[in-house]
């Protein structure tokens, strides 16, 4: 008897079956169903027993693996967002889109976006993420080895000195699997040039074990979003009844006692969470006084700030809470200055207005811009887009978001004429002509 053990494949993280249909969990948060059309196959957990002549059994094995590859390429679904997931690997470039891959903006930071999709549904989400998104139709996942290979190329281009890999994106970065391996590989590359790895998170996926592993992997900083301490307000802002602020505060304290620098990032939604925003600032300052972390950022030679206060802005395809007032940055900074002054009067020196310099961010060599705005070019359509009316094309080692399309499915595989509308930071947007 021949057998095929599916647990030997890193991406297959769980196996179930319903009669002759395999239900494969892929990288923890995705799922795909694969019908096994061979009568000779018996499914026993992750082991497939093949009762056939050895030569036929080998052919069946290859057939099953091909079926699994095909299903992952075409029918992968997110268990979190319930959307289709497109698995990104060679030869799709990783520069050009904001939903996946790598972004560099002429600085020493490289944004690493291994996937998109979020477990929360924040009422203010700038990228309309979560299960109830009205605009997103597909999610993307980037193969770990491919992501690292491309990351290395950008680091080599920029020069491996004081580079920061920042895990962020259209979704919750900590849902990426295998996250610890990703952080470890990035940290190993960056530490050769005294660089760091940092990550944004809503904190919901983190637990003590994962924080321990991330610490071990070399994560330098976690930027943790906390927008309210009040339970009701926190649930309302996150768009989820099961959001537990006590759990996030517990996680904050655990990080604060680790070798990962904790930065708390509250977001002000004027006229909605004004009081709670201030309470989060007070909480962070209090925690910082109680637990002094002494983690030095090699990019600055100093400790990172404890707070990264942010103002909620409105984006074209984002969500905007009805009651929210729109503030400009002057008004926001005036408020933060007032809070800084109030703290100073109490003898506490706190910096609420931070600048890129506080994190060691500085200008560095930019990747070349292969497209000019206004240019008309031919592009091959290779993938469905992130939002309705969008497909993705490939050209000159970039992904191009082609917007305002009708009949997206009819465009797949075709070469189309596109006018480039945007090339800033190598995020390329074009429209069909």
x/- letters, 169..188, toward ligand SF4 (CB under 6 A): --xx----------------
Query: Could you say which residues in the range 187-246 bind ligand SF4, by CB under 6 A?
Result: 202
Nearer to ligand SF4, 125 or 281 (CB): 125
Q: Closest CB to ligand SF4 among 130 and 195?
A: 130
Residues within window 43-62 making contact with ligand SF4, judged by CB under 6 A: none
Q: Which is nearer to ligand SF4, 326 or 415 (CB)?
A: 326
In the bound state with ligand SF4, the residue whose beta carbon lies nearer, of 267 and 379, is: 267
Candidate ranges 122-130, 180-188, 258-266, 305-313; the one touching ligand SF4 (CB under 6 A): 122-130
Dihedral, CA of residue 168, residue 173, residue 177 and residue 180, to nearest 10: 70
State yes or no: residue 139 binds ligand SF4 (CB under 6 A). Answer: no
Q: Which residue's CB is nearer to ligand SF4, number 144 or number 265? A: 265
CA distance 99 to 302: 32
Smallest distance, Å, CB 113 to ligand SF4?
12
- CA nearest neighbour of 408 among 380, 376, 384: 384
Question: Smallest distance, Å, CB 150 to ligand SF4?
Answer: 23
Structure tokens at 219: 């994560």
Q: Which positions from 337 through 376 interact with ligand SF4, judged by CB under 6 A?
A: none
User: Based on CB atoms, which residue is closest to ligand SF4, 167 or 391?
Assistant: 167
Shortest spacing between CB 124 and ligand SF4, in angstroms: 7
Cβ 123 to ligand SF4, closest distance in Å?
9
Q: Which two tokens stand for residue 146?
A: 């491919």
- Containing 429, the helix (H) or strand (E) segment is strand 429-432
- Binding residue for ligand SF4, selected from 120, 251, 284, 299, defined by CB under 6 A: 120
On the CB side of 98, CA atoms within 13 Å amount to 15
Nearer to ligand SF4, 57 or 267 (CB): 267
Nearest-angstrom CA–CA distance, 432 and 294: 53
**Those residues with Cβ within 8 angstroms of residue 373's Cβ, 6 or more apart along the chain or in another chain:** 420, 421, 422, 423
Residue closer to ligand SF4 by CB (options 121, 190) is: 121
Cα separation, 197 vs 236, in Å, equals 31
When the beta carbons of 173 and 195 are compared against ligand SF4, the nearer one is: 173
Binding range to ligand SF4, per CB under 6 A, among 21-29, 124-132, 351-359, 414-422? 124-132
By CB under 6 A, tell whether 408 contacts ligand SF4.
no
SS3 content of the chain, % helix, strand, coil (to 5): 30, 30, 40
Which of 118, 163, 335, 428 is the binder for ligand SF4 (CB under 6 A)?
118
122 interacts with ligand SF4 by CB under 6 A: yes
127-141 burial code (b ≥16 CB/10 A, e <16): bbbbbebebbebbbb
Geometric angle at alpha carbon 233, from 304 and 129, rounded to 5°:
70
Q: Strands (DSSP E) along 238-312, which ranges?
A: 261-265, 267-268, 296-297, 302-303, 310-311
* Nearest CA among 317, 313, 326, 130 for reference residue 239: 130
Q: Smallest distance, Å, CB 307 to ligand SF4?
A: 18
| Cα of 69 vs its chain's centroid, Å | 24
CB of 122 to ligand SF4, least distance (A): 3
List the one residue out of 160, 84, 97, 150 whose CA is nearest residue 127.
Answer: 97
Residue number with CB closer to ligand SF4 (200 or 293) = 200
3-state class (DSSP) for residue 32: strand
Structure tokens at 100: 């996946």
- Strand, coil or helix: 84: strand
CA angle 336, 279, 287 (to 5 degrees): 95
Report the nearest approach of ligand SF4 to the CB of residue 198 (Å): 16
> At its nearest, how many Å lie between ligand SF4 and the CB of residue 165?
19
Point out which span in 15-23, 94-102, 120-128, 207-215 binds ligand SF4 (CB under 6 A): 120-128
Q: Which residues are bridge partners to 303 per DSSP? A: 296
Q: Which of the stretches 127-135, 228-236, 380-388, 406-414 binds ligand SF4 when contact is defined by CB under 6 A? A: 127-135
Residue choice 125, 165, 197, 350 for contact with ligand SF4 (CB under 6 A): 125
Q: Residues interacting with ligand SF4, by CB under 6 A?
A: 118, 120-122, 125, 127, 129-130, 171-172, 202
């Amino acid at each position: 008897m021949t057998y095929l053990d599916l647990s030997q494949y890193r991406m297959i993280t769980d196996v179930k079956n319903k009669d002759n249909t395999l239900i494969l969990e892929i990288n923890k948060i995705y799922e795909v169903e694969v019908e096994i059309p061979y009568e000779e196959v018996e499914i026993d957990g992750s082991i497939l027993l093949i009762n056939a002549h050895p030569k036929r059994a080998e052919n069946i094995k290859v057939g099953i693996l091909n079926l699994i590859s095909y299903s992952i390429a075409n029918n992968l679904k997110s268990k979190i967002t319930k959307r289709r997931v497109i698995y990104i690997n060679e030869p799709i470039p990783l520069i050009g889109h904001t939903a996946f891959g790598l972004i560099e903006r002429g600085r020493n930071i490289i944004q690493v976006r291994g996937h998109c999709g979020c477990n929360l549904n924040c009422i203010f989400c700038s990228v309309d993420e979560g299960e109830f998104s009205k605009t997103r139709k597909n999610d993307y996942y980037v193969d770990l080895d491919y992501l690292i290979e491309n990351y290395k190329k950008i680091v080599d281009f920029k020069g491996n000195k004081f580079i920061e890999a920042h895990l962020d994106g259209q979704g919750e970065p900590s849902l990426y699997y295998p996250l610890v391996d990703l952080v470890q590989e990035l940290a190993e590359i960056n530490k050769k040039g005294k660089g760091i790895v940092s990550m944004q998170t809503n904190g919901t996926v983190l637990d003590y074990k994962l924080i321990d592993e991330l610490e071990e992997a070399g994560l330098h900083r976690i930027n943790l979003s906390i927008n309210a301490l009040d339970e009701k307000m926190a649930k309302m802002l996150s768009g989820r009844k099961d959001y537990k602020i006590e759990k996030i505060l517990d996680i904050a304290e655990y990080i604060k006692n680790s070798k990962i620098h904790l930065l708390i990032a509250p977001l002000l939604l004027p006229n909605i969470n004004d009081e709670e925003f201030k309470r989060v600032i007070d909480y962070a300052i209090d925690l910082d006084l109680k637990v002094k972390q002494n983690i030095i950022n090699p990019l600055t030679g100093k400790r990172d700030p404890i707070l990264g206060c942010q103002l909620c802005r409105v984006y074209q395809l984002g969500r905007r809470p009805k009651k929210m007032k729109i503030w400009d940055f002057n008004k926001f900074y005036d408020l933060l200055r007032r809070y800084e002054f109030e703290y100073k009067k109490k003898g506490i020196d706190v910096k609420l207005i931070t600048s890129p310099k506080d994190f060691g961010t500085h200008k560095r060599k930019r990747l070349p811009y292969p497209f000019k705005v206004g240019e008309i070019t031919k592009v091959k359509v290779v993938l469905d887009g992130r939002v309705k009316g969008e497909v993705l094309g490939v050209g000159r080692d970039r992904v191009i978001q082609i917007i305002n399309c009708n009949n997206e499915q009819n465009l797949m595989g075709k070469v189309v004429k596109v006018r480039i509308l945007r090339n800033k930071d190598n995020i390329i947007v074009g429209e069909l002509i």
